[in-house]
């Protein structure tokens, strides 16, 4: 099974406002997008577990025209709390890169 980093040309994360994190997975091409977009590792329940978020709140979008899957996750604590590790959320995509996709 390929890793996510091997089938995406670009993966990024960023705050979407102070209370949300949003992750964009740009797949290598349409073939890779079609093959892997339904992978169990990218379902909301799995993503919620990876980020310790409430699965009922995690939002997942398939942007077919761009071959992108977008995942939006409530931040565990709002931006800038007492233990803030990533003010802009710009590095929080990293744990996804090694995910194995069916």
Site residues (CB under 8 A) for another protein?
A: 14-20, 22, 24, 54, 57, 59, 61, 63, 65-66, 68, 70, 72, 74, 78-83, 85-88, 91-92, 94-95, 98
**Least distance between another protein and beta carbon 36 (Å):** 18
Distances (CA, A) of 11 to 21, 28, 80: 13, 10, 23
**Least distance between another protein and beta carbon 29 (Å):** 13
Spacing of C-alpha 20 from chain mean position: 12
| Closer Cβ to another protein, 40 or 95, answer by number | 95
């Amino acid at each position: 099974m390929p890793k996510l980093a091997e089938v995406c040309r670009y993966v990024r994360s960023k705050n979407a406002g102070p209370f949300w994190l949003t992750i964009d997975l740009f797949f290598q091409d349409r073939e890779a997008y079609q093959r892997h977009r339904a992978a169990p590792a990218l379902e909301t329940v799995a993503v919620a577990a990876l980020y310790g978020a409430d699965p009922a709140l995690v939002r997942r979008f398939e942007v077919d025209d761009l071959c992108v899957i977008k995942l939006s996750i409530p931040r565990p604590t709002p931006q800038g709390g007492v233990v803030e590790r990533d003010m802009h959320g710009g590095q929080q995509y990293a744990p996804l890169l090694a995910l194995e996709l069916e």
